[in-house]
Amino acid sequence: MTDRLGVQGRAARALIGVTAAWLAAAALPAHAANDELTLYTTREAALIQPLISAFSAQSKIKVNTVFVKDGLLERVKAEGARSPADVLMTVDIGNLMDLVDGGVTQPVKSAALESAVPANLRGADGQWFALSLRARVLYADRNQPLTSFRYEDLANPKWKGKVCIRAGQHPYNTALIAAMIAHDGEAKTEQWLRGVKANLARKATGGDRDVARDILGGICDIGLANSYYVGQMKSASAGTDARKWGDAIKVVRPTFAGAKGGGTHVNISGAAVARNAPQRANAVKLLEFLVSEPAQALYAQANYEYPVRKGVALDPIIGETIGELKVDPLPLTEIAKYRKQASALVDKVGFDQ
């Protein structure tokens, strides 16, 4: 759950600096005041509005934002050729790939996008692009003598009764399980998942910040959670309880031990140009803006996310607490194709029961 007031205030402060930097750079030409585009998004308004405002201030392109909590693919399909959607934005690679597989996106060829977004974080044919990253990291009791960790270690019997995690069927975890299948195969992943279940200190439930809460409460010693929650818990705007949770943990960047190379698993926020986009050119301009240096800095400063563009500074809290990532090199498309198998394994081993 997002601390909305904290995010909004922080985003507003970051917006002032980033918008000024962007306008000073004047990297894109101005457009007619009546230019516009329509964005369908599953991201909360507080997380994207500062970016949209900065884009509109520079480009003079009005963005009509439509928040679609559920059923984005079904809505765009139902609208068909008459859909007003120009850009489709989601959280989680699985949701983005559903749009591609559902045939409601179109390829984009852009040097600006291709130079800013690494190949493993975009579609090979330009059907989608990652805009920001969130790492699946290890929260550990701050007194634990851990400096490194492998995802495979979660199944080690030494952690029996000491692991906390949210539901296996949550997209954050099915994406990680899919990555494990991509690295180690389905049979080894099933064995691993059974081992993690055997090590649970409590039922797999709750949210990522609950992992830190339960570490503070002595229920567990370690658990998996997304990186940006660390920023939310440690920020000046966090509530008293959240700050206690953040202070109770240390953060370790896990890696995979498989033969395909080890890196930290990441998920994304990303976007695509809609197949029937009425304002295709403006849609591409928005995507290009979102991977520009000023916009990527805003992702880091306002949302505690990792930029996809190299060379953009991290938020100080994330930089000091977690640090730079060595991202798992497997293409997200390779990971995403195992999503259904991952979900089936969660049910097969009764992980959430």
- With respect to residue 244, please indicate whether it lies within any of the assigned structural domains: yes
Which pLDDT value is given to residue 258?
67
Residue 102 pLDDT exceeds 50: yes
The reply to whether 141 and 186 lie within a common domain is yes
Which pLDDT value is given to residue 210?
98
Contacts of residue 129, defined as CB under 8 A and 6 or more positions apart, other chains included, come to 108, 113, 117, 121, 122, 123, 270, 271, 272, 287, 291
Which pLDDT value is given to residue 34?
53
Which pLDDT value is given to residue 259?
58
The reply to whether 309 and 181 lie within a common domain is no
Which pLDDT value is given to residue 20?
46
Contacts of residue 104, defined as CB under 8 A and 6 or more positions apart, other chains included, come to 73, 76, 77, 88, 274, 275
The reply to whether 243 and 270 lie within a common domain is no
The string of DSSP letters for 147-211 reads S--BGGGGG-GGGTT-EE---TTSHHHHHHHHHHHHHH-HHHHHHHHHHHHHTBSS-S-S-HHHH
Q: How do residues 114-150 score in pLDDT, each as one tens digit?
A: 999 999 999 989 999 999 999 999 999 999 999 999 9
pLDDT band at 7 (very low <50, low <70, confident <90, very high): very low
- With respect to residue 67, please indicate whether it lies within any of the assigned structural domains: yes
Residue 25 pLDDT exceeds 60: no
Q: Given phi > 0 = left and psi -120 to 50 = alpha, else beta, which region is 332?
A: alpha
Residue 212 pLDDT exceeds 70: yes
pLDDT band at 45 (very low <50, low <70, confident <90, very high): confident
What angle is formed at CA 68 by the lines to CA 235 and CA 5, rounded to 5 degrees? 20
Residue 2 pLDDT exceeds 90: no
Over the chain, what is the mean pLDDT? 90
Range of lowest pLDDT (33-37, 221-225, 329-333, 342-346) = 33-37
The reply to whether 13 and 100 lie within a common domain is yes
Contacts of residue 85, defined as CB under 8 A and 6 or more positions apart, other chains included, come to 38, 39, 40, 66, 76, 79, 274, 276, 277
- With respect to residue 225, please indicate whether it lies within any of the assigned structural domains: yes
Residue 215's nearest CA partner among 141, 267, 298 is 141
Which pLDDT value is given to residue 16?
47
- With respect to residue 306, please indicate whether it lies within any of the assigned structural domains: yes
| Helix, strand, coil fractions of the chain, as percent rounded to 5 | 50, 15, 35
- With respect to residue 325, please indicate whether it lies within any of the assigned structural domains: yes
Q: Given phi > 0 = left and psi -120 to 50 = alpha, else beta, which region is 103?
A: left
Handedness of CA 80, 334, 268, 209 (dihedral sign): positive
Q: Answer with the residue of higher pLDDT: 262 or 43.
A: 43
Cα gap 221→202, rounded to integer Å: 12
Residue 342 pLDDT exceeds 80: yes
Cα gap 350→348, rounded to integer Å: 6
The reply to whether 28 and 58 lie within a common domain is yes
- With respect to residue 96, please indicate whether it lies within any of the assigned structural domains: yes
Q: How do residues 275-316 score in pLDDT, each as one tens digit?
A: 999 999 999 999 999 999 999 999 999 889 999 999 999 999
Residue 26 pLDDT exceeds 80: no
Domain that holds residue 64: 4-133+266-315
Which pLDDT value is given to residue 47?
80
Q: Answer with the residue of higher pLDDT: 15 or 144.
A: 144
What angle is formed at CA 117 by the lines to CA 114 and CA 122, rounded to 5 degrees? 85
The reply to whether 257 and 270 lie within a common domain is no
The reply to whether 99 and 88 lie within a common domain is yes
304 annotated to bind ligand: no
- With respect to residue 205, please indicate whether it lies within any of the assigned structural domains: yes
CA atoms within 13 A on the CB side of 72: 28
Which pLDDT value is given to residue 4?
41
Which pLDDT value is given to residue 261?
66
Residue 164 pLDDT exceeds 50: yes
Q: Answer with the residue of higher pLDDT: 47 or 166.
A: 166
Q: How do residues 237-258 score in pLDDT, each as one tens digit?
A: 899 999 999 999 999 999 998 6
The reply to whether 151 and 75 lie within a common domain is no
Q: How do residues 49-60 score in pLDDT, each as one tens digit?
A: 999 999 999 999
- How many domains does one find in the chain? 2
The reply to whether 260 and 273 lie within a common domain is no
245 and 216 in contact (C-beta within 8 Å)?
yes
- With respect to residue 353, please indicate whether it lies within any of the assigned structural domains: no
Residues above pLDDT 70, as percent of the chain? 89
The reply to whether 91 and 178 lie within a common domain is no
Hey, which residues does 270 pair with through a beta bridge? 90, 130
pLDDT band at 8 (very low <50, low <70, confident <90, very high): very low
Q: Biggest alpha carbon distance in the chain? A: 63
> Looking at residues 324-343, what average pLDDT do you find?
93
pLDDT band at 13 (very low <50, low <70, confident <90, very high): low
Residue 92 is part of a domain; what is its CATH number? 3.40.190.10
The reply to whether 199 and 335 lie within a common domain is yes
The whole-model pTM stands at 0.87
The reply to whether 81 and 57 lie within a common domain is yes
151 annotated to bind ligand: no
